[in-house]
Structure 1
Amino acid sequence: MPSSPRGWRARLRVPAGVLGAVLLGALLWEGYKAVGDPDGTMLFGVRLLPRADDAAMPHVAEILGRFADPELTGGEPVGLVVLRAAAFTLRSVAVGFAVAVLVGAALAVLMQRFRVAERGLLPYVILSQTVPLIALAPVIAGWGGRLSIGSRPWEPWMSVATIASYLAFFPIAVGLLRGLQSPAPIAEELMRSYAAGWWRTLVKLRLPAARPYLFPALRLAAAAAVVGAVVGEISTGTRGGIGRLVIEYSREATTDPAKVYTALLGAALLGLAVAGAVGLAELLLTPGRRVSTR
């Protein structure tokens, strides 16, 4: 833990920055709504800026107030429904993120250990991220329908977790590989002079040196896992999650536009919560160090 007021101030900058960004976004939203064209800004027949009417851009207070209103007449509040859907999606995000960490770390260590593996695997790792998720999700869901884990059948949320891990492993593999390759040659020579083998060099030199690269990569991976899970739920039609809720609420966009934004805010807050959990892990694992904001 930080031992001085300056240390605490350094660690409080990140949540303060997030809060400031949220407030700035709300001000920009209301500012554009106040001065923007209700029909949108058009140029040569192409809409460059969105419509600023109440049907397309409800007031921020109206969106926030919709969380307390019942989803249906006499039903549960929208906020509770969104929270339950976010918790459902969080399971897929957590499993997908854990798988992505294992796969990404294994690939990074393998590519650092063997140069031929780096030359052979890295192009395919990069190429994997060019496949559109909207096309990949139905394929994964179809494969999952034919699989089982022992006596347990493959469930739809597992396909969503697979999609989340597919999108999240890339920043971990690339970021950790860069960190493992970051020690200076003189440090590697020093380890060799002590007759340290590859494993001891990895544990004592390369992994500590990779820490500044790893945690920013983990934050990117956490956000990517949320995006993958939401897109996966939308593409595969998995019910119960925040992605499906976005689709269901979008059907009421013309009559209840504020309701649509509650699901979108729920997805955004889920991403912030997962990224915040990674930041908390960094605080706990790097006592006395300043949190990286990259």
Structure 2
Amino acid sequence: MRSVIPILTVVAAILVVWYGASVWMNSQWTLDQAARNNQTVTFSQILTDTMAQKRPKLPAPHQVAEGLWQGVFGQAITSKRSLVYHAWVTLSATLLGFAIGTGLGVLLAVGIVHNRAMDMSVMPWAIASQTIPILAIAPMVIVVMASVGITGLLPKSIISAYLSFFPVVVGMVKGFRSPDGMQLDLLKTYSASRSQTFWKLRFPASMPYFFTSLKIAAAAALVGAIVGEMPTGAVAGLGARLLSGSYYGQTVMIWAALFMAAIVAAVLVGAIGALQAVTLRRMGMRQ
């Protein structure tokens, strides 16, 4: 019970601030309407109106919750208005990009650890690649791949992979190098080969780092998939839902899509965390 109280306190504080900001930001529209009609409004009238505007500047929490509920449970999952449908479209690109980025990251990490030339050359380029804004890269990737006839899921997945491979590279390099000198020297006394040292020592030692980097990479891959949907004029996906809401001034739709994205990210991270617990337990490692 004591562990729940701080969480509830933070949530309550966020809701109070959110409601207060909603009243403050949405009240101007109410005041302008009253001024046009030569009317005066009381604070209670302002409060009531700002909590129920159809296109508020900042939707109140209950409006976002209602939009999320309607998008998830109020529509058939095959409907173009269903957030479940749009989330699945985005998740498909996320998972493919996450798989590509993870595989590429692990392979690069292995090369960096075992080859000094790659360590000196590839790692700086990997770091430099993350300084380029994803909003600048996404349209380039989409246009170039469309010019060669590749559209649909793959371009978005490549953008996801671009964001997700870097955490895996950094985490796995750290993990592969985590065994200390005494452990490496012990295997040398047993005449262990480089491959045996890798599979018997470096790879098992890297598992905690691997799962930690996967959690970061999964969230990054989701961001990449959403960003990848924006310059394509996509009609499906959470990114398309965000664009549609911005075009028509539907701020409740935008916020509902944002919360749906957060839920998808939480599910991905939770699934990786569960896999981590099972794997490390089977390997005899403590959490």
Q: TM-score range by the shorter chain?
A: 0.7 to 0.9
Say yes or no: does 1:140 pair with 2:134: no
Partner of 2:93: 92
Aligned position for 1:210: 206
Q: Does 1:260 align with 2:261?
A: no
Does residue 30 of structure 2 align to residue 29 of structure 1?
A: no
**Relative to structure 1, is the Cα distance of residues 79 and 239 closer, same or farther in structure 2, using a 3 angstrom cutoff?**
closer
What are the superposed Cα offsets for residues 86-109 of structure 1, whole Å, 9 maximum, x if unpaired? Answer: 001111001000001110000000
Decide whether aligned partners of structure 1 residues 29 and 252 sit closer, same or farther in structure 2, where only a CA change above 3 A counts.
farther
Are 1:188 and 2:189 an aligned pair?
A: no
- Check the 8 A contact 2:71/2:83 in 1, yes or no: no
Q: Which runs of 5+ in 2 are unaligned?
A: 27-46
Query: 1:117 Cα deviation (Å)?
Result: 1.1
Identify the residue that residue 236 of structure 1 maps to in structure 2.
232
State the partner residue of 1:157: 153
Q: Hey, what's the Cα distance between the residues in 1 that align with 2:276 and 2:130? A: 26
1:38 partner amino acid: W
The alpha carbon displacement at 1:156 in A equals 2.4
Aligned-pair CA distance for 1:68: 4.2
How far, CA to CA, are the matches of 1:209 and 1:250 in structure 2? 47
- TM-score of the aligned structures, taking structure 2 as reference length: 0.79
Q: TM-score, normalised by structure 1?
A: 0.77
Corresponding residue for residue 30 of structure 2:
none
CA distance in 2, matches of 1:29, 1:39: 16
Considering fraction of residues, name the structure with more helix: 2
Task: Give the equivalent residue in structure 2 for 1:179.
Answer: 175
Given that 2:25 and 2:57 are in contact with CA atoms closer than 8 Å, whether structure 1 keeps it comes out as no
Aligned-partner Cα distance in 2 for 1:178–1:190 = 20
CA deviations on 1:110-150 (whole Å, 9 max, x unpaired) are 00001121011111000000111111111111221244xxx
User: Relative to 1, partners in 2 of residues 1:34 and 1:140: Cα closer, same or farther, differing over 3 Å?
Assistant: closer
With over 3 angstroms needed to count, the CA separation of the structure-2 counterparts of 1:289 and 1:190, relative to structure 1, is: closer
Query: What letter matches 1:280 in structure 2?
Result: A
Letter in 2 for 1:62: Q
- Number of equivalenced pairs: 254
- Residue 264 of structure 2: aligned partner: 270
Note the alpha carbon deviations across 1:26-62, whole angstroms, 9 max, x for none: 423321145447149xxxxxxxxxxx95523323222
Note the C-alpha offset of 1:274.
1.4
Post-superposition offset of 1:260 = 2.2
> Where does the alignment leave 5 or more consecutive residues of structure 1 unmatched?
1-15, 41-51, 148-152
User: In structure 1, what residue type is equivalent to 2:13?
Assistant: L
CA contact (8 A) 1:68 1:79 kept: no
Q: Quote the Cα distance in structure 2 between the aligned partners of 1:121 and 1:199.
A: 22
**What residue number does 2:33 align with?**
none
Q: After the TM superposition, which residues 96-115 of structure 1 pair with which residues of structure 2 at under 5 Å, given as runs? A: 96-115=97-116
Change (3 A) 1:87 1:35: closer
Q: What is the Cα deviation at residue 277 of structure 1?
A: 1.8
Rounded Cα–Cα distance in structure 1 between residues aligned with 2:93 and 2:9: 31
Aligned ranges for residues 10-25 of structure 1 at < 5 Å? none
Bigger radius of gyration among the two: 2
The C-alpha deviation readout for 1:55-82, integer Å capped at 9, x for no partner, is: 23323222212234479xx976999611
Shift of 1:237: 2.5
CA separation in 2, counterparts of 1:24 and 1:79?
37
Match of 2:130 in 1: 129
Contact persistence 1:249–1:263 (CA under 8 A): no
Give the AA of the match of 1:269.
I
Identity %: 28
Q: Deviations over 1:228-285 (max 9, x none)?
A: 11111113333311111111122343xx532321111111111111111211221221
Letter in 1 for 2:97: G
